[in-house]
Structures are given as structure tokens and as C-alpha cells.
Structure 1
Amino acid sequence: MGLPWPFALRRTPAAAQAPGQAGSGCSRALFGQPLAALCGEDNTLPRPIQELLAVLRQRGPTTEGIFRRAAGGTELRQLREALDRGKDIDMGSQPALLLAVILKDFLRSIPTKLLVIDLYEDWMAAMERASKQAKVEELKAVADKLPVANLLLLKRLMALLQHIGHNAATSRMSCSNLAICVGPNLLSPPNEDLLPLQAMLAVTEKVNVLVEFLIENCGDIFGEEVAGLSPPSAEEVPAPMDRRTGAD
């Protein structure tokens, strides 16, 4: 059966000449790679991730249950495999719920996690500071230890999640809800595999509290320029394609 949504490739000369690697901005698999290895020499995020973030910024606030609701297994597998092969996917034609799951999958696949496993204790120590301002200052210091690519994606991700959380009336996803859904993909302790279940549940709760704080206070932590590092506006994203011929 055909896919129930337009799984469209961009029709570009490059796509015709180099199937499988056409213009995706990635010369290797997208998932499971160190983030720095996927970024350009000018520390730009891989184009599929930039475009995915942009579409989610446009549609996430009005998509109920974004980052919480699941996507179809077949569609998820096909899109992930296409991105891993470097196919030049029209992100604007993909459902927002599917892109949210793909983004969580991508974050989960980063080998040392976006927030870096080795910095786990630093993040936790920052959250133990007594006042909000002390937490903010300490979190700034920990964020400065991140690789450049990780910090760039973290800023854009937090700005996106805050944007969705501030539109909870339509997304039905508060900053707390988003942290619960996304947080476990961003950080874990170095000895995660050795922890008993109860200890791992406690770790997950701490990580979720950290991520919620980062979402709610991303402007204070990452600076006012975080708005400029947000995904491109809707006008900069290719319009959704209404190509449903043969897909029904």
C-alpha cells in the first residue's frame, strides 16, 4: 500500500543526478553520529534538521499532543531510512507528529547525548542551587562546556519547545509536558546501564526537571540572541505540498 501522506522528494537537478545523497547536507548517515560530524564547517546544523525544526516551529503550536503522540511505525521507518540515505526530503510535506517523533529519534541517537553524558553531574549540581538566578548562572557555565554544535542545537530546540509550550491552549503541551516527552532523550548518567529501575526513574525525573527549567528560562540562560537562533520562520520553509495523487 502507498503511504497515506505525501512522502515527497524535492525534484531538483541534483536529486536526479545523485540519488541517495541529493542535497541533504549530509554525506553520511544522519542517525547515530556525533553531532559535530554532521555539521558544516561553519557549524551549521545539517539541513534536514534545520528544515525539520522550522516545520515544527510553524505547525507545532497548533498540533495537539505534539511530541507526545506516536507516529505510524511504517511511516517512521521509511522516513528515517530515507534521511539516513541522504534523500532530499520535502519536510513541508510531512505530518508534524511524524517529524516530532523523528526529532526525538535523532536526539536519542546522538552517541554522547545532546547535553553530554560526561556533564551529567554538572547539570544536576546546577539545579541544586538555591535561587532561580543562581541556577541560571550555573546552567550558563555548564552550557558553555558543550561542543559548539550541541549548544547550537540545544538553543534552537529549547526555543522551539518554549514556543510550543507557550501555545499550550492549542498544542495541549505545556513546558512540563514537553520536558517529560523530550527530556529523557537529551541526557543520562554515565552508568545508566548499571542503575536499578528505581534509581533510573529518579534520574529521569531529575532530567525532566532540568529540561523544563531550560525550556522555561532559555532566554535568560542562552541570551536574548536565542530568538535569532530559533528555526527559520514559516516564510522560510517550503510550503506544504498537496500531492496526494496515488497516495489515497
Structure 2
Amino acid sequence: MSGKGLRWPRRAVREDFAAHQAGSGCSRALFGQPLAALCGEDGTLPQPIQELLAVLQQEGPSTEGIFRRAASGTALRELREALDHGADVDMGSQPALLLAAILKEFLRSIPCKLLVTELYEDWMAAMQKASREEKIWELRAVAEKLPAANLLLLKRLLSLLRHIGHHAATSRMGCSNLAVCVGPNLLSPANADQLPLEAVLEVTHKVNVLVEFLVENCRELFEEEAGSLSSPADQELAAPLESFRA
């Protein structure tokens, strides 16, 4: 699934969406909710997000401009509506660029951000440490303050971005580029809406530098925990994904 010849299987999602509405009725929205409220009782991420991450793990490295190139606005809106209403969307059949765009939209919709607005100064203070080792130590301490669901998604996201960044020859997206595209969706200060443009640009730069460091050092930060997205759910998804390439 590359960036060429992308097609949006609009009818399939619309039919899934309509069938769900006619069947079980309304369900909890996926977007704009606290992450903890969306996770299962066993602490797992929402199933659509798990599947989306698994597809991007496989297709992201070979998709040029992943997270940077825009997806169709209509396709993005329809997929968001379908997911928000609990439709059973086949993530493996969706273009990787569209899935990357919907992931950014999901991250942007998390109240108080994935890295938690109230921890903005803590993140920034950690990045002021002189050595790489000190930064990693302090950043790990800040990460431990995150809600469990936020920390779980952060580990999965950083691992994904690192994986794509290490295939920059095909994705054309190094860790720095990925941080610029994804970073602003992950963290902002509490008073971001009141800041003048110059201050906003400075904050954005600082957040991008933070996210790039997190991506490049995620293995060390989380002691190899973020080294792979290979959860049981991902393994189950891998087989049907192979069939799409056959």
C-alpha cells in the first residue's frame, strides 16, 4: 500500500456505517474523549487504534510522505464519522496516507493532549538537561506521570515513528520530519490559545525538538518496551494484511 494510485473505498465504509446505525444504535465516540475512557477494562487501546497502528507499522515505511502528505478531506471526514459511530472499518483496505491523517486527528482530539498540557513545563525542563543521558533520565520520570493509557499509546506511537524514520530512503520521512508533522498534535502549554504568533512558533519548535528526541531515543527511554508494535492483536492482523499484497 503505497502513496501511488490511492483509492478510498467509500462505499464499504458507508455501508458499514449504515448497518451499524440500523443495528446497535449509538456508541461512545472515538474522537474527543479522554483516552482512559476508551480503553478496555484490561487497559488495552481501542481496537480501531490498535488496528490502525498495525497497518501503519507495515505500510508506513514504504509510503512516501507518510504523515506529511494530505488525505482527501471527504475521505477523512467519512472515516472519522464511521469510527465515531462504531462502524466495523477494515483498516487494512484503507490508504496508508488516510490512516496517518486520521491518527493525527485522533491525537489532536485527545483532551489535554497525549503528553498532557499540565506537564508541558516538566517536559521542557527535562530537555534543558546538559547530556543525552540526563535528558533520558528526566524524560522517563515525566513519562511516568502520564495516565497509563496515555503512556501506552505514547510508546506505541514513538515505536511506529522510529520504525518509519529508519526507512527514510523509501518513506522520505526522517525522525525530524515526522516530529514536525506529528509533534504539534501531542503537546501544548495550557495558555496556547492566548499566545502571540511569535510565542506559538517558539512553542511549536520546542515541542518538535522534544518529540524528535523521544522518537530517536524511545528504546532507551522505555527500556526496550517500545521496540516493537507486535502485540497479539497486531499478529492476528498481520495475516490478512499479507493477503492484500498478494
TM-score by length of 2: 0.88
Aligned to 2:193: 193
Query: Matches of 1:139 and 1:233 in 2, distance apart?
Result: 30
Q: Is contact 1:93-1:240 (8 Å) kept?
A: no
Whose helix fraction is larger, Structure 1's or Structure 2's? 2
Residue by residue over 1:141-177, the C-alpha shift from the partner in whole angstroms, topping out at 9 and shown as x without a partner, is 0000000000000000000000000000000000000
Q: Secondary structure at the match of 2:240?
A: coil
Name the Cα RMSD after superposition: 2.6
Query: Matches of 1:88 and 1:120 in 2, distance apart?
Result: 36
Query: Does the C-alpha gap of structure 1 residues 95 and 109 become closer, same or farther in structure 2, counting only changes over 3 Å?
Result: same
Query: Matches of 1:140 and 1:46 in 2, distance apart?
Result: 24
> Does 2:9 correspond to 1:6?
yes
Task: After TM superposition, give the deviation of residue 227 of structure 1 in Å.
Answer: 2.4
- Please tell me the residue identity of whatever aligns with 2:241: A
Task: After TM superposition, give the deviation of residue 226 of structure 1 in Å.
Answer: 1.6
Q: Secondary structure at the match of 1:202?
A: helix
1:108-123 alignment, distance < 5 Å: 108-123=108-123
Q: Secondary structure at the match of 1:19?
A: helix
Query: Does the C-alpha gap of structure 1 residues 240 and 92 become closer, same or farther in structure 2, counting only changes over 3 Å?
Result: farther
Aligned to 1:132: 132
Query: Does the C-alpha gap of structure 1 residues 152 and 61 become closer, same or farther in structure 2, counting only changes over 3 Å?
Result: same
- How many residues were matched structurally? 235
Q: Is contact 1:58-1:234 (8 Å) kept?
A: no
Task: After TM superposition, give the deviation of residue 222 of structure 1 in Å.
Answer: 1.1
Once the two structures are aligned, what percentage of the paired residues are identical? 70
Aligned to 1:205: 205
Query: Does the C-alpha gap of structure 1 residues 20 and 228 become closer, same or farther in structure 2, counting only changes over 3 Å?
Result: farther
TM-score by length of 1: 0.88
Structure 2: unaligned runs, 5 residues or longer: 1-5
Structure 1: unaligned runs, 5 residues or longer: 243-248
> Does 2:241 correspond to 1:239?
yes
Task: After TM superposition, give the deviation of residue 194 of structure 1 in Å.
Answer: 1.0
Q: Is contact 1:35-1:149 (8 Å) kept?
A: yes
Q: Secondary structure at the match of 1:239?
A: helix
After TM superposition, the structure 1 stretch with the greater mean CA deviation from structure 2, 71-80 or 150-159, is 71-80
Query: Matches of 2:158 and 2:49 in 1, distance apart?
Result: 14
Residue by residue over 1:17-71, the C-alpha shift from the partner in whole angstroms, topping out at 9 and shown as x without a partner, is x724989xx9400000000000001110000000000000000000000000000
Query: Does the C-alpha gap of structure 1 residues 240 and 77 become closer, same or farther in structure 2, counting only changes over 3 Å?
Result: farther
1:53-92 alignment, distance < 5 Å: 53-92=53-92
User: Which gives a bigger RCO, structure 1 or 2 (Cα 8 Å, sep 6+)?
Assistant: 1
Residue by residue over 1:105-153, the C-alpha shift from the partner in whole angstroms, topping out at 9 and shown as x without a partner, is 0000001100000000000000000000000000000000000000000
Task: After TM superposition, give the deviation of residue 223 of structure 1 in Å.
Answer: 1.4
